[in-house]
Amino acid sequence: MQYNRVCIETLTTLLPPEVCTSAEIESRLAPVYQRLGLPEGRLELMSGIRERRFFPRGTLPGQISSQTVRKALEISGLDPALCGALIHGSVCRDQMEPATAAGVHHAAGLPRQALVLDLSNACLGLLNGMLMVADLIELGRIQAGIVVGTEIGRPLVEGTIAKLLADPAVTRKSIKLDFASLTIGSGSAAIVLCDESISRTGNRLLGGACLANTFHHELCAGGVDSSQSTSGGPLMSTDSEALLHAGVELAEETWQLARQELGWTNDSVTKVFTHQVGRAHRSLLLDRLNLPEQIDFPTVGFLGNTGAAALPTAAALGLQEGFAGAGDQIAFLGIGSGLNSIMLGLNWQKTLSE
């Protein structure tokens, strides 16, 4: 895929106020750790995640997404009346129906003519939303659009802790399938895209590639399992090691396609932002793609895995902190369970101040 007239005006994030350390989670799991003979510090050692953040209990994704959209629009300086699409792209939603995007659209005061919908695709929802909005802009259907998503990780983490404490049959082997659920954090991010004719930044979305390997669709699966969940909340089962290797293999194929589409070599890339899963995933991914770690901006150590919000959150923080800026050729390296991968190229010119 290639784009000739799509610009990214704003990447922004809202970080949750409450910090939950891996040590705190292990303290709550002390009876399980003691019974299985697991060493303290295992969670941080294996994942590289020392802490993650949560929004207050009872917070709905749409409440935070509404704030993030308003913040993104304010930073962009775009007239909200120009916004022809609002896509809510996180795994977490307020309810099954109607779309969480509907409440966010109302709270943000966007035009009635806008396309309003939820788009869910594991950790790639916001990137998929970017492509949908970019396609609409490139076709001349709309002048601008917004993609937003908020992940609420507390219910999954606390539900997993409750499940493990209540399960007398848990073993050192079976607990591995719950490990990834304890790395989840909360976060919110938004991306404003527009036609180059109304852009103040000239930050070009150049294009990229997407690729699927759905043979591996069962390696990570989540939802509400009333037979196991003691809280009625979500649970997730993840074969972390198999997912790691299958995901990186798919990423390597996707990166080859993206470079061909963009006319890039690895030397063309000055900065990358990756999906933030854990330390081992980051190291193996960058090694297999033959990209140096110093051009990546890791956030997983203090935010945990924030799902679909992870990559755009890392990009928003990296741009605001000056890690990337004018003249950088930026790659977004996205991977999501399913398995799916999206890799995009950007030419960055200007970061608008928050």
- Catalytic-residue membership of 123: yes
Domains of the chain with bracketed CATH: 204-347 (3.40.47.10)
> Cα torsion for 43, 48, 50, 53, to the nearest 10°?
-100
In the chain, beta strands by DSSP E: 6-14, 18-21, 51-54, 83-88, 115-118, 144-151, 187-195, 204-212, 220-223, 235-238, 271-274, 329-336, 340-347
Q: Looking at 20, 92, 123, 194, which residue is catalytic?
A: 123
Peptide bond into 165 cis (omega under 30): no
**Contact residues for 121 (Cβ-Cβ < 8 A; gap 6+):** 89, 128, 308, 336, 338, 340
Residue 30: CA count within 13 A, CB half-sphere: 4
- Residues 70, 68: Cα–Cα separation, whole Å: 5
Q: Which two tokens stand for residue 240?
A: 């972390």
Strands 144-151 and 83-88: parallel
| Sign of the dihedral defined by the CA atoms of residues 111, 350, 334, 254, in that order | positive
| Residue 237, beta-bridge partner list | 221
Return the HEC string of 165-212.
Answer: HHCCCCCCCCCHHHHHHHHECCEEEEEEEEEHHHCCCCCEEEEEEEEE
Angle between helices 61-76 and 100-108 (to 10 degrees): 40
- Per-residue tens of pLDDT for the chain, all 354 residues: 999 999 999 999 999 999 999 999 999 999 999 999 999 999 999 899 999 999 999 999 999 999 999 999 999 999 999 999 999 999 999 999 999 999 999 999 999 999 999 999 988 999 999 999 999 999 999 999 999 999 999 999 999 999 999 999 999 888 888 888 999 999 999 999 999 999 999 999 999 999 998 876 766 677 755 444 445 567 767 666 776 677 788 889 999 999 999 999 999 999 999 988 888 888 889 999 999 999 999 999 999 999 999 999 999 999 999 999 999 999 999 998 778 999 999 999 999 987
CA 171 to each of CA 33, 37, 154, 168, 247: distance values in angstroms, whole numbers, following the listed order? 10, 10, 24, 9, 26
Reply yes or no on whether 97 is catalytic: yes
Quickly count: other Cβ atoms within 10 Å of residue 263's Cβ. Answer: 11
